[in-house]
Amino acid sequence: MFQLRKIFGERIIKTGISTFLTALICIWLNLPPIFAVITAIVTIEPTAKASLKKAYVRFPASIIGTFIAVVSLFIFGETAITYAIAATLTILVTYRLKLYDGVLVAAITAVAMIPSVQDAYVYHFTSRLATTIIGLTTSTVINYLILPPQYTDRIKELATAAKKDIQKLLNRRLKELTGQKFQSGKSDKNYKAIQKTMNEAERLLQFQHDEYSYLRFNEEGLRDLNKIQRELQFIKLYLIHVGNLIYIPRNLNLGFTQKELDTLEQVLPLIDEDMSKVDVDHPVLEDLYDCIKELDEDSVFKAHLLNEIILLFRMLINHDKTTDVTNIKKDGK
């Protein structure tokens, strides 16, 4: 099962199991399985919490879709306008009732049942509703019991990758600044790419929190997840400070002196070092302080920029001395 989980992914496996069981139940009850199978496919969710929560919405939405389809077919017969009215009214009513998570299931149910309904409207209404309920119930139970989501390792991978990418971005940005390049499209592009990585990590973090807190409470796992959450908060802060070095007002000429440039050149090698072994009062950082003290009152933004670099490095040093979530030794051990 572990190999299957690794190859196909939990959601695909659960969708396959849910589809099989849904069809099996419908065939056993002598009901058409197509509506139930469609419902089962579109209602598998990333977490059990999401599946259970949305099931409460999708059930009444399915009733609405089924009812509208039957009434539309009774009035207009099987015509193009019937499909349009059934779909439009279903979407409109479910939206007005704020059944947002049930819109897709309801609309699919409404249009899919039109070609198969003959004269026995009540029978088809109840049978289609029954098969939709079977699909909803099966997918919810499968999501609840089978292959609980395990996003922790993936979140750690994303966090580690984001931190390493920010480190590379900081290195590049300092080189750009020492080269008097204050606007950089490449740095901006890399910054936004890291933001996407962080957004994905936070999305998976929320999924895992839901799983632990709602269904399978795991005290040790929850503590580990809280630790990862604090790490993601730090990386976001790290990224924000690097962003302060990237997004500099246009047409601003900082005009670094040779002493300031020499000091920044000495800062660069620190980025590639193991920050947990760097002294928080490193001499180069003290040299940056001296550069700030020598600035006149008109060099406010330059002072801000140099202070930002000092803050970044001291923040990294203090952080890396106290965490191992995303710290990877260069020797790979």
**pLDDT tens per residue, range 34-86:** 878 887 887 777 776 777 777 778 888 888 988 898 888 888 888 899 999 99
State the alpha helices, DSSP H only, in the chain: 2-8, 10-28, 34-42, 48-76, 80-96, 103-113, 121-145, 152-178, 185-210, 219-246, 258-271, 283-293, 300-320
CA pair distance 263, 271, nearest whole angstrom: 14
pLDDT in tens, 144-193: 777 667 788 889 999 999 999 998 999 898 888 888 787 888 999 999 99
Phi, psi of 29 (to 5 degrees): -90, 5
Comparing C-alpha atoms, which of 204, 201, 124, 188 is closest to residue 161? 201
- 3-state secondary structure at position 146: coil
- 3-state secondary structure at position 83: helix
Section 100-126 average pLDDT: 78
pLDDT in tens, 202-259: 998 888 877 776 655 567 777 788 889 999 999 999 999 999 988 887 776 677 888 8
CA pair distance 91, 104, nearest whole angstrom: 8
Per domain, the residue ranges of the chain are 10-145, 150-248, 254-324
